Amino acid sequence: MSNPSLLAGLDIGGSKVLAVAVEVSPDDQRPRVVEQVRLTTFQGPEGVVDTASRALTALAGRLVERNGWHGGPAELFSGVGIGVPGLVDAERGAVTHAVNLGVGPGGLALADRLQRRLNLPVVVENDVNAAACGVAAHLRLGRVDLGYLSIGTGLAAGIVLDGVLRRTTPPGRSATSRSTRPARSVPAGSTAAWRCWPPAARSPPAGRWTRSPPPSTRPRPCSTRPPRVTPGPS
């Protein structure tokens, strides 16, 4: 039986993956990191899946050793959120063109592959989008506008409007925060330790930013509240 108060988050980069276990307080819904593991990233689609699986298994092992618990990732975590570079289709949990991970245009169905391996719900988001929504949620900014600028090997930005993550979508549907060309906008949720689930709302015409979707499809704002999750297939 998974622990409903524990979530796992993965930040997968070209050289390392950082896995964290996050406990959400039942009193104020404040998340706090209770354990972390850092491993070297293996390249290529198979390497990325193996790295994510190894990191979550090692993270669960640390918690078992420290607290005297029993079980692996499926028994300890209620869900996993992953931030990953490249073009991310958050609805499908798939990534393409993550060149620093060795994932090309053929792509990687990361959420599906990891769900099947670990029997855990998995959500995947572009790493900078995840960070933008994580900052807004952690600071409890509410329904405000926020720009998150990431300066590293490259330059990237994530946008939160009215408390909701806005994903830019280059032609072909896959989403990334690293595109500066005219794009389509869809509301979405963050992943990693602080996340909302991707909504059913569809994007407006190309090149247009929308302030908020119709009430019937409006997603929840970025939140620290853990979602209800259903275990993936074994």
pLDDT at 182: 28
pLDDT at 103: 96
Residue whose structure tokens are 């989403």: 175
Q: List b or e across 22-47, with b for residues whose CB sees 16 or more CB atoms inside 10 angstroms.
A: bbbeeeeeebeeebebeeebbeebee
pLDDT at 205: 32
pLDDT at 146: 84
pLDDT at 207: 32
- Run means of pLDDT, 10 residues per run, the chain, 234 residues: 78 95 82 93 96 97 93 94 93 93 95 95 93 82 82 81 74 43 32 32 31 41 50 45
Domains annotated for the chain, with CATH where assigned, are 6-125 (3.30.420.40), 127-217 (no CATH)
pLDDT at 35: 96
pLDDT at 138: 77
Q: What is the CA radius of gyration of the chain?
A: 17
